[in-house]
Every structure is written in structure tokens, then in C-alpha cells.
Chain A
Amino acid sequence: MSTEVSEPASKVDLAPGASGSGEIPQFDITLRVRRYDPEVSEEAYWEDFELTMYGTDRVLDALHKVKWEIDGSLSFRRSCAHGVCGSDAMRINGRNRLACKTLLKDLDTAKPITVEAIKGLPVEKDLIVDMEPFFQSYREIMPFLVAKGHEPSAERYQSPEDRERYDDTTKCILCAACTSSCPVFWTDGQYFGPAAIVNAHRFIFDSRDDAGDMRLEILNDKEGVWRCRTTFNCSEACPRGIQVTKAIAEVKQAVLTRSI
């Protein structure tokens, strides 16, 4: 970004008309949203919204614009709106992403932008799905520290190398983008799913944890790690850039070495 001219120290000094930030480009988009309202109809349908958006807007801003200015009945989840809470995972142009991290200008604005609920989980209304099955799998792998022995009187030490071992999988925000992008999960929802395995990985490879064996036993299930077909959909979908498929492979390896 060396071509950019640095802004003056104080904006008060700006000459009238000379805008330091420049005009933000505007463009028109068509937002095509998958609507579903069981109180009205059992059928889901596509609805188009024509919007004028700014170059700095995200898909979430477009959804806000629809909800606040056009159709208040549009339902979707969002909390922090800044890619941290993981509430607004949805299928945008056929790919699982966070609406709050997807800039409109990065999508093809010449075509309608499709937005639908994530797949494989029961849709409740519009873009909201029932996350319970997802969290049920998450709870089953015991996503908490289990340490043997007495309560320590000081903190539990861990070397930077040991911490590094599972660093990647600590980044998970439980948005379900990975699990709901997995074709094996789509079939019958029985598979534990990438997110549960990622969170198991986070504790299995934590040197302070003592329940790794139990978690490996849980994931050695017929619906566990062995149902992974390494299609890499999960790694591609993860908004946090976690190497999900790699983590699953490491858990597979751990189950294998434990048994042999």
C-alpha cells in the first residue's frame, strides 16, 4: 500500500473538497435470500432484494438493510458482527462463510448473491437453524479440562512448545461452518462432525489434560473420525483458517497409535 498518500495529522487542516479518504464507491446488488417460515408455509422459497450498497459493506450489512428498511420479518442470527462470536455462519453463493466477514465487493455483484441457511441442520426460520444437534456432538467429546490428582496450589505450567501443539484448534468459534459443509454430515447427521473433532483435538493434545484416552475412545466410534473422507470442505469453510482436515487426521493417527 505504498501508493496511498498518508492522511494529514489533523482532519481540521483538510481543505474543503479535498477528501482524504476519497469517495466510497457505491454499487447495486441483488440479494437472493432463502426464506422459510413454518408459521406461514412449509415450503421454502427464494426472495430477491435490490439494494444499493457501499464498497465497504459486508453481506451482513446487506441483510441489516433488508431487515431494517425493507422487510422486518427476515430472520438471521448475529451477535458481535465482527467475526468473533460465530453466530452468522451462512451459505453465501454456495459456500459456508460468516456474513460479517464477507465483503460484498469480493463477490460477483453482477449476479444475484445467494444467501441461505447452513445445510444439514433443521431450519427454524429463514437463516436460523437449530444448533442443538451440533452442540450435542460438541458436548459429547467433553470440551473441558480433565486433570487427575489434587487441585494444584499454583498454576498448571506448560512449555511454549506444548502449547504450540494444539494452538490451531484453540481458534474455533463454534460457528458450525465446517460441520454444515461436510457431505458426510449432510446425509444423516449422525457423524460427530469436524467441529467436535477439532475441539476434542484441542484437549487431546493439551499436555495438562488427562482425559485424552477417553476422548479418543469416543471418537473411535463408527460415527467418529473414521467417517471423515478428507474432502477438505471443512478446512475451506473455516472462517478462522483452522486446518480442520489436518486436525482430524492427527486424531485418527492418535486413535491408531493408541490401539496398536
Chain B
Amino acid sequence: MAATTEFVPPRSGRIDAKYNRVPGRKGNFEMLAWLFMRISGVFLVVLIFGHLITNLLVGDGINGLDFGFVAGKWADPFWQFWDLAMLWLAMLHGTNGVRTIINDYADKDRTRFWLKGILYFATIVIITLGTLVIFTFDPCIPGSPLEICK
């Protein structure tokens, strides 16, 4: 007799292992992430449009944008806090968005692991650097024409 092909009869109790759900950690992480996306979204609309209006429309508009303009804004704790909130919320909102995209589209656990690793690394670097700049910003670079540096 010719060699027969390996054939598993249908519904013999087997389920492709990929469908078996591994019991996940207990907790509300996914729910909180979902909630965070909605709340941060609302805040970001206000923060980003406020940012765009003050930077691009008020006063000289886009022509008034220069180093001095940014320095002037960051001398004010209000704008420091505004930009900090914008940085953190936008970064976390975006990171969580990309995390869900990776979860949805990467079909191997290894791919997922590496993509998320790169994502989280980039997020941490950008948030740390951004926060550092907002708080340690010194407008008086050598040869600065600004009033306060003289």
C-alpha cells in the first residue's frame, strides 16, 4: 500500500494550541489602559490646541517662533506644567496605542516581545529626556541676546 498521509479526524478532541488562552494575570490593567486612552484623549485635545494657538496664531504667529519665544514660555511655571502634561499624556497615549497595534498585528510572541521592547525603550528615553529639558532648561546659552542673560 502507498504511504498514507497523516490525517487527524475532525473533532477528535484536539484544538489547535494557539486558541488555548493562557490564564492571564488578574487585575484591571487592560481596563485602566482603555480608560486612560479616553481621559487622556480629552485632555490632549485641549492641551494640543492650546499649544498650537499660542505658538502659531497669537501675536506674531508663526513668524514670532524662535529660541527666545520658547525660552520666554518656559520661564513661566504655567507653560512648564502645560508642556510637561502634554509630553507625558501624548507619549503614554501614543505608546499604549502602538502597544495595542502590536498586540493586534504581530502574530508571534517573539515578534511581540521585541517590538514592545523597542517601543517601551523609546518611550522611556523620550519622556526622561523631555522632562529633563523642561525642568533644567537654561535660556542663557553663550552669546545669548536675551535680556535676562545680560
Inter-subunit contact A189/B19 (CB<8 Å): yes
Question: In angstroms, how far is the closest chain A Cβ from the Cβ of B36?
Answer: 12
Cα A187 to Cα B111 with chains together (Å): 13
Cα A190 to Cα B17 with chains together (Å): 10
Question: In angstroms, how far is the closest chain A Cβ from the Cβ of B112?
Answer: 9
**Known contacts A130-B10, A220-B31, A221-B24, A190 near B19 by CB under 8 Å:** yes
CB of A2 within 8 Å of the partner chain: no
Contact with B along A100-127 (1 / 0, CB 8 A): 0000000000000000000000101000
CB of A54 within 8 Å of the partner chain: no
Q: State how many residues of chain A have any CB contact under 8 Å with chain B.
A: 27
**Known contacts A187-B105, A190-B21, A226 near B33 by CB under 8 Å:** yes
Contact with A along B98-139 (1 / 0, CB 8 A): 001001111100000000000000000000000000000000
CB of A229 within 8 Å of the partner chain: yes
Q: State how many residues of chain B have any CB contact under 8 Å with chain A.
A: 24
B32: nearest chain-A partner, CB-CB: A259
Q: Which chain A residues border B104 with CB–CB below 8 Å? A: 183-184, 187, 227, 229
**Known contacts A124-B10, A183-B104, A187-B105, A133 near B35 by CB under 8 Å:** no
Question: In angstroms, how far is the closest chain B Cβ from the Cβ of A229?
Answer: 7
CB of A252 within 8 Å of the partner chain: yes
Contact with B along A197-231 (1 / 0, CB 8 A): 00000000000000000000000111110110100
Question: In angstroms, how far is the closest chain A Cβ from the Cβ of B4?
Answer: 9
CB of A255 within 8 Å of the partner chain: yes
Question: In angstroms, how far is the closest chain A Cβ from the Cβ of B105?
Answer: 6
Q: Which of B19, B29, B100, B106 has the most CB of A within 10 A?
A: B19
**Known contacts A226-B33, A256-B31, A136 near B5 by CB under 8 Å:** no
CB of B18 within 8 Å of the partner chain: yes
- Contact residue among B7, B19, B103 (Cβ-Cβ distance under 8 Å from A133): B19
Cα A226 to Cα B28 with chains together (Å): 10
CB of B16 within 8 Å of the partner chain: yes
Chain B, range 5-42, C-beta contacts under 8 Å to A? 5, 7, 10-11, 15-16, 18-19, 21, 24-25, 28-31, 33-35
User: Which of B's residues lie within 8 Å of A, judged by CB?
Assistant: 5, 7, 10-11, 15-16, 18-19, 21, 24-25, 28-31, 33-35, 100, 103-107
